[in-house]
Amino acid sequence: MKEIFKLFFIALLCLLMPTACGKTDAGDSAFEPLHTSYKEILAYSGSNYDEPIKKIESLQMEIRTYLNRFPKSEKRTEAERILSETKNMQLELQREQFDFSELEKRFKQRHTIDEVDLEINDIKAFLRNYPQSIKSNDLKNRIESLVFEKFQLETTVTPQTISDINRTIQTAKGYLGQLRNANFKAQVNDKIKKVEARRQSIYEMEFQLQVAELFKQMDAQVVKIARDSHPASKIESVNVSIVSGDVSKAAPQVKVVREYIVNMRGAIMGINRYQLKIQVSGVLLGTNQTGVSYNIAGATKVSDYRI
């Protein structure tokens, strides 16, 4: 009798609690593919908003069906949790999708550095709002392209002076630190090499331009001295010769001395005539790393005769 009662109790227990007898709850088996779909959504690594949103909507329908079929399943609580989380995910994705579409409208053909900066800032603001965005990689790559575009805009003008060369190279090296793309970095390095290759020729050109400016200032100094010496006379002619200083080629330091013979005649009657000898010295300084500058070292009236 006891054995019969024991068997009856076990059968009743198995009927009420199948898992107690080693049997799997049908609800458990039905829940597994739902959980797998949920994990696939969490692991989604694409950049298309519609795909995960459609998967979420499909999973939500399946979970609701599951909850209706298995109202007393042990997995009910977990299924309800997944349903709630996917609702939040869906709302977040839809909000992000809308904000991204607004961001895309501001993408345009750029013509200035300010426009590039504006787009970079817009993208960075979007990524701050959506740090886990499915567009994260795409937008980071876009920022990289924009940074390179900004570099191209900043270095469009061909350097004409040593200062230009130094500024361009410094700018390029600054961009190297911001770029990860190997192709972009290679193009920046190539730009640096090409600019650097022009350094010596630009230095020599700059030296000759500064020589011309120095001579121009020397001439002006001589005219001032002559007019100050004889304010009532006019300059008839000026003959100049270089006493010392080779300015035919660039050098780190060149001291130049020029001698001027100035002929003057009285402005009123034209009777009084004067001849002045004036020496002016100047210095040219600089290398192909620093650029060239000049200054007037001094001006001396050597003689002043009435003729």
Poorest-pLDDT segment among 1-10, 83-92, 254-263? 1-10
Cα dihedral 48, 141, 102, 116 in deg (nearest 10)? -170
Mean pLDDT value across residues 138-150: 95
Q: How is 116-161 classified by DSSP, letter by letter?
A: HHHHHHHHHHHHHH-TT-TTHHHHHHHHHHHHHHHHHHHT-SPP-S
Q: pLDDT at position 166, please? A: 97
pLDDT for the residue 106? 83
Could you state, in order of their start, the residue ranges of all structural domains in the chain? 26-101, 118-197, 204-306
pLDDT of residue 161: 96
pLDDT score of 13: 45
Residue 233: strand pairing partners: 266
Q: What whole-number percentage of the chain has pLDDT above 90? A: 82
Closest CA to 44 of 32, 31, 57, 53: 53
Q: What is the pLDDT of residue 26?
A: 74
Which tens digit of pLDDT belongs to each residue from 90-143? 999 999 999 999 998 888 766 789 999 999 999 999 999 999 999 999 999 999
The tens digit of pLDDT for each residue in 13-31 reads 444 454 444 444 677 899 9
Query: What is the DSSP code (8-state) at residue 273?
Result: E
Q: Is the pLDDT of residue 193 over 60?
A: yes
User: How high is the mean pLDDT of the chain?
Assistant: 90
Q: Please answer whether residues 185 and 178 qualify as being in contact, where contact means their C-beta atoms are separated by less than 8 angstroms.
A: no
- Rounded to an integer, the average pLDDT of 278-301 is 96
Task: Taking the CA atoms of 137, 140, 145 and 148 in sequence, report the sign of the dihedral they define.
Answer: negative
Q: Which pLDDT belongs to residue 27?
A: 74
* Average of per-residue pLDDT across 23-47: 86
Q: How does DSSP assign 71-119, residue by residue? A: TT-TTHHHHHHHHHHHHHHHHHHHHHHHHHHHHHHT-----SHHHHHHH
Rounded to the nearest angstrom, the gap between the alpha carbon of residue 262 and the centroid of all alpha carbons in its chain is 57
Q: How confident is the model at residue 53 (pLDDT cuts 50, 70, 90)?
A: very high
Residue 35 pLDDT greater than 90, yes or no: yes
The 3-state secondary structure of 44-65 reads CCCCCCHHHHHHHHHHHHHHHH
- What local confidence, expressed as pLDDT, does residue 107 receive? 84
Are the C-beta atoms of residues 295 and 210 closer than 8 Å to each other? no
Q: What is the pLDDT of residue 75?
A: 93
Query: pLDDT tens, 216-270?
Result: 999 999 999 999 999 999 999 999 998 899 999 999 999 999 999 999 998 777 6
CATH fold, domain 26-101, is Methane Monooxygenase Hydroxylase; Chain G, domain 1 (1.20.58)
pLDDT given at position 28: 82
Q: How far apart are CA 254 and CA 108, in angstroms?
A: 53
